[in-house]
């Protein structure tokens, strides 16, 4: 598939501060964080958890994956995040990481169960890949899976297994030294699998975060000068200037803006962002 890196003129929509999120019924919500120094995700995860059954309809499960090098620590629960004691424990006991992926589920395909709770994790090239999906897919069973097999019965996990198989075939020598080659492959595979259905997804490999927008996705990069931010779905405000250093950079990706007083960049359907060390490394057609 032909791809190119998009310039600033091609990325173009920003959300205005103060706007409240609109929730789509029948879909899930995604949250990703990628940064240049270890950072906890408590603030953003608190906003997402509120959407998991309290301020949003996504009460069929939640999950959070936190990287430590090539390995990932995953918390999963097939229940509403908004009243989960496990989710509350995570918020009260911050764990710092360079890359995190979280998800709250409103089921469309597959029963409510631990096996069907995102994010999903698979090993490839001696590292964990982590994946979360928002949307509905058709014809995903037609894609070959190779050595990767689903544990649950969601279209999301099937798509992830198909993606892992194709990456395995594309790079038989292992993790590519040129990270843009991997980004190009992920974008092409995303476009192919997403051609029949809705394929918003987050994919992490421990050093970079891929975020594909099929219908709805946004991001913000917090960097100096840091300011105060207030969640749209929880009574929580943080003055980031008091908890960061001038060199910190934190990229946060979400289905809908999590705060009411920050400007989020809105995704264009058919593009995929790649974040490395808290920066937007590039945007690919997907």
Query: Pick the catalytic residue: 28, 161, 213, 218?
Result: 28
Q: Are the beta carbons of 41 and 102 closer than 8 angstroms?
A: yes
State how far the Cα of 26 lies from the Cα of 135, in Å rounded to an integer.
8
Annotated catalytic, 35? no
Residues forming beta bridges with residue 160, ordered by sequence position: none
State how far the Cα of 206 lies from the Cα of 270, in Å rounded to an integer.
24
Strands 127-134 and 29-39: unpaired
Q: Are the beta carbons of 37 and 99 closer than 8 angstroms?
A: no
Dihedral sign for Cα atoms in the order 12, 134, 1, 167: positive
Residues forming beta bridges with residue 283, ordered by sequence position: 273
Q: Are the beta carbons of 250 and 275 closer than 8 angstroms?
A: no
CA angle 169-216-91, nearest 5°? Answer: 90
The torsion angles phi and psi of 70, rounded to 5 degrees, stand at: -85, -10
Active site residues: 28
């Amino acid at each position: 598939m032909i791809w190119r890196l998009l310039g600033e003129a091609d990325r173009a929509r920003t959300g205005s501060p103060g706007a409240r999120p609109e929730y789509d019924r029948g879909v899930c919500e995604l949250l990703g964080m990628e940064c240049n120094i270890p950072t906890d995700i408590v603030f953003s995860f608190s906003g997402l958890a509120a959407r998991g059954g309290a301020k949003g309809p996504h009460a069929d499960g939640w999950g959070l994956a936190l990287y430590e090098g090539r390995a990932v620590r995953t918390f999963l629960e097939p229940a509403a995040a908004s009243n989960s004691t496990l989710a509350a424990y995570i918020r009260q006991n911050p764990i710092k990481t360079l890359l995190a992926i979280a998800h709250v589920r409103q089921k469309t395909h597959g029963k409510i169960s631990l096996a069907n709770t995102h994010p999903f994790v698979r090993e490839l090239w001696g590292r964990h890949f982590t994946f979360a999906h928002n949307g509905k897919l058709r014809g995903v069973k037609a894609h070959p899976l190779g050595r990767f097999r689903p544990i649950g019965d969601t279209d999301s996990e099937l798509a992830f297994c198909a993606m892992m198989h194709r990456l395995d075939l594309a790079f038989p020598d292992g993790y590519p030294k040129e990270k843009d080659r991997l980004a190009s492959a992920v974008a092409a595979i995303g476009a192919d699998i997403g051609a029949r259905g809705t394929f918003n997804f987050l994919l992490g490999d421990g050093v970079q975060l891929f975020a594909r927008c099929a219908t709805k996705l946004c991001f913000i990069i917090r960097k100096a000068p840091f300011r105060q931010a207030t969640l749209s779905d929880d009574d929580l405000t943080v003055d980031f200037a008091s908890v960061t250093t001038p060199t910190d950079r934190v990229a946060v990706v979400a289905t809908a803006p999590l705060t009411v007083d920050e400007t989020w960049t809105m995704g264009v359907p058919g593009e995929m962002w790649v974040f490395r060390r808290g920066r937007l490394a590039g945007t690919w057609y997907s």
